[in-house]
Amino acid sequence: MRFKGRILHKFTESPVLELRLPAWRSRLMALVIFCCFGALIGRSFYLQIINTDFLQEKGESRYRRDLEISASRGRVSDRNGDVLAISTPMKSVWAIPADARLDPQQTKQLAGLLEADAKELSHKLNSDKNFVFLQRQIPPDIADQITALKLPGIGQDKEYRRYYPTGEMTAHIVGFTGVDDKGLEGVELAYQSQLLGRNGSRSVIKDRRGQIVEDVGSIKPPQDGKDIQLALDSKIQYLAYSHLKQAITDSKAKAGGAIVADARTGEILALANWPTYNPNNRDHLSGAQLRNRAVTDTFEPGSTLKPFTIALALEKGKVRFNTIIDTAPGKLVIGQATITDSQAHGPLTVAQVIQKSSNVGAAKIAATLPAQEMWGMFDGLGFGQAPHLGFPGEVGGRLRPWKTWRPIEQATMSYGHGISVSLMQLVRAYTVFARDGDLIPLSLTRAGPQRVGGTPVFSQETARELRAMLEMVVQPGGTAPKAQIPGYRVAGKTGTAHKLEGGQYADKYLSSFIGFAPASDPRLIVAVMIDEPGIAKHYGGDLAAPVFSLVMGGALRTLGIPPDAPLQVANGADAPAAKGKL
């Protein structure tokens, strides 16, 4: 073919298209491409036929969610089954800000139902977070009203709120939980692992707005927490709480505490403190209200420690029940220090040293004992060691090593100065007198059958002699006739101690009384402490002993313990138990 004088060759015969590469390279490229296609086909076969989990997981991650199912926290009840703490179902309202596009009217409606500030709510809804809580623990009826609004991006979860039917009466022993249902104080914290339970979960399918469109099923059912039954008796707790509160109000005191324990089992039947708080409403709390003073506060016990010094002297054969101790002229000089009695008594028997609460008599008896033996006795009673009840903040008090004791320090420790204990430690120590000389641990929960025996500290004979001496304390001539209870024999000891401030004794007092009844066969131990009374009468026999009488008398009658004495009280005693209303 000719075109304007030139010959036009066939297109396929153009020199430009002449193949200059070796033929094997094209075959190689074809093979590589074939292998790539084979690999893709193999991978597709592997993912779609053999291993389907990967793609299934990726697909489900777009629409399937595992939601937590809350477990109910275990209940706390008293020994009779009365509920002290229970979880009630509530709802939490949350939002996915990216989907929660609410108009001003919807925002205003939601804020009104949540009792929240509309501006603050808008700020949460416009957050760049993937998830925000709008309100925790709202009542179900309010949650239903929010659901009815059908707001986009707004969801709800079920949760629980702790409720305490007995309120401030049992606040310090039961404690409370936080918004996440975890124990923060008291039994709620001590038994957290048992009460908490384990949350479950379920699978659901959600749309792009976060709304559940299908419930796939349950993966793991929730396990509710274990119920805890305390040794506490609500009726006796009310007696301790109400009478302690009244005594602190009447005496204008700073604070106080009371404990009731079963002498046979060591069970804590009541534990009350003042000031206290309402665990259902903790908006305005102070540290003073939260303190479980009976367990966490230590103090110099004063004369309530004299019976232990006398018991050790009896045990070692240094004195006998009627041994005469000359306490005249009511003063005793040791080095540069002087020990005094509230009044001069002259010669007293050992029993009268307890009855009259003579510091001079106790110091002279302590001088007959080696310091190491006194320390060993205090240590054996649990002083200087935490009582291991499981309560948060338990303290061991202060018991200095015997090698550092000077003569004056040994003398003052014989009547409860220079040593610090908690009210709980004191209650446990007095079980040796109520139980014929053996010491048992105390228990917050039901201890079951009567304990057979504890750790021997004193002989049975010594314990019974001390019991007789302590019974003289509440009789005419003793320091606590106001502790008497019509129909029951009572034994106990008063304590009145100056408070230490900045290493110096201040003109402030701590008054106490601890005792047990019926003295013929002790069943209950009651300890009462009044901190910094604001009136002139600050002695334990005037302030703490009447509270003991009211609480012990009411508790004995509540438990149906038969009387062991005439109904009338001894002459000279003011019988508050007969006047008080239980």
Measured in degrees and rounded to the nearest 5, phi and psi for residue 528 equal -130, 135
Q: What is the rounded CA–CA span in Å between residue 519 and residue 526?
A: 13
Query: In 3D, which of 161, 138, 148 has the Cα closest to residue 92?
Result: 138
Q: What is the rounded CA–CA span in Å between residue 287 and residue 308?
A: 34
Contact status, residue 513 vs residue 528, Cβ threshold 8 Å: yes
Residues 6 or more apart whose Cβ sits within 8 Å of residue 49 = none
Residues, the chain: 582
Read off the DSSP letter of residue 110. H
Measured in degrees and rounded to the nearest 5, phi and psi for residue 337 equal -105, 155
- Token pair in block for residue 511: 């008054």
Query: In 3D, which of 445, 429, 86, 74 has the Cα closest to residue 233?
Result: 445
Determine how many CB atoms are found less than 10 A away from the CB of residue 103. 8
Contact status, residue 186 vs residue 273, Cβ threshold 8 Å: no
Residues 6 or more apart whose Cβ sits within 8 Å of residue 186 = 171, 172, 173, 174, 175, 176, 292, 391, 392
**CA trace torsion 99, 102, 106, 110 (10° rounding):** 50
Query: In 3D, which of 510, 465, 519, 511 has the Cα closest to residue 492?
Result: 519
According to DSSP, the β-strands at 255-262 and 524-531 are antiparallel
Contact status, residue 471 vs residue 549, Cβ threshold 8 Å: no
Query: In 3D, which of 212, 203, 124, 196 has the Cα closest to residue 160?
Result: 196
Contact status, residue 313 vs residue 369, Cβ threshold 8 Å: yes
Read off the DSSP letter of residue 385. S
CA-CA-CA-CA torsion sign (398, 261, 497, 358)? negative
Q: What is the rounded CA–CA span in Å between residue 459 and residue 109?
A: 75
Residues marked as catalytic: 303
Please write down the long-range contacts of 174-177, taking CB distance under 8 Å and 24 or more positions apart.
174/76, 174/84, 174/85, 174/279, 175/279, 175/392, 176/279, 176/282, 177/73
Read off the DSSP letter of residue 328. T
Q: What is the rounded CA–CA span in Å between residue 582 and residue 574?
A: 17
Give the 3-state DSSP-derived string for 142-180, with helices as H, strands as E and coil as C. HHHHHHHCCCCCEEEEEEEEEECCCHHHHHHHHCCECCC
